[in-house]
Amino acid sequence: MTTAAFAWFDGRLATGLTAVSRDPADLDEAGWWAVVAPYDDAPVLARFADVVEAPLPDGPWVGPAPVAWTSSLDHDGYVDAVAWVRQRIAHGDVYQANVCRILTAELPDPARAHPAGLARLLRTGNPAPYAGVVHLPAGCHPDAPASGLSVVTASPELFLARDGSRVRSGPIKGTGRTEADLAEKDSAENVMIVDLVRNDLSVVCATGSVTVPSLLSVEEHPGLVHLVSYVEGELSAGVGWTELFAAAFPPGSVTGAPKSSALRIIGEVEAAPRGPYCGAVGWVDAGAVSATLAVAIRTFWITGDQVRFGTGAGITWGSHAETEWAETELKAERLLAVAAGTWKGSPT
């Protein structure tokens, strides 16, 4: 078990922490960076000296029981929030807004709550294309968060991938247990967010270069299906990470459309800060001008003796409050059981 700072993504283990920054401009400098960009705070960027192909480190994990979690919005509070968003849609203030809730639980044995152990459970019980870990223990670097930062993600959603000047995003909107559960509302919601992401990327991409190579594809993930689309563009000359974050963050799929209105409404109805949830997590290789950043959904983060997890749903005029509440439950159900060590189902 490693007690030092590390990050693990795409089968690569990063060790040898050399710098911690909160400035996205540093991602244009040399080095390999792990990125945790909270939804409502400045990003935490950790540069590592050594990056090698390697399995996840070992570590113990004793997680809370699924019934031990408390929610920032209970059932009635969430239903009221959905009603308020629909009222704002009726008034023409917004077309769609994501409403999320933060689940919190005490760690039953904090000394045996290593993020690598949780990540190993998730890789078995809930494999995901953008799985990863960033672990910055307290005291690991003078510029790191004083209380440390541990984020474990099983995200299925691409926020931004970069290959030189080419940038790609894969917004998810529409969730069901099976494809038959996806409704017309889900398709409409996805198209709204695709348009928003096109507009975001158009701010920093060459005129006419933004395209949608895939629209409304059905992707299967453990225990559910998603509607996924992909948007691509060619960055304009001189655009760096500062400009890219300013244009595209927070991700459109977890905010709403128009984004500025959705952000205000989210602030009105949600009962707790989102923290890393709905932000971005991943890596940037400045030297290779490449990156993969996921939307930080299906994501756990550890703070002191507590662990947190977020879940939410996109609200449109066609939403039914009970259905949206059930979607937030569906998104959390499997992950909480895996984190508790009680998941007995298959990995698919």
What 3-state DSSP class applies to 138? Answer: coil
What are the DSSP calls for 39-82, one per residue?
A: TTS--EEEEEEEEEE-PPPP--B-PPPGGG-EESS-HHHHHHHH
How confident is the model at residue 184, as a pLDDT? 87
pTM above 0.85, yes or no: yes
In whole angstroms, give the CA distance from residue 293 to residue 298: 14
Kindly list the averaged pLDDT for each block of 10 residues, start to end, along the chain of length 348. 85 98 95 97 97 95 97 98 97 96 97 96 94 96 94 97 98 88 88 95 98 94 90 97 97 95 96 97 97 98 95 94 95 95 70
Length of the chain: 348
In whole angstroms, give the CA distance from residue 126 to residue 155: 10
Q: 3-class secondary structure for 242-304? A: HHHHHHHCCCHHHCEECHHHHHHHHHHHCCCCCCCCCCEEEEEECCCCEEEEEECCCEEEEEC
Domains of the chain as residue ranges with CATH? 6-340 (3.60.120.10)
How confident is the model at residue 173, as a pLDDT? 87
In whole angstroms, give the CA distance from residue 110 to residue 102: 20
How confident is the model at residue 346, as a pLDDT? 56
Q: How many helices (H) and strands (E) would you count in the chain?
A: 6, 18
How confident is the model at residue 183, as a pLDDT? 84
How confident is the model at residue 273, as a pLDDT? 97
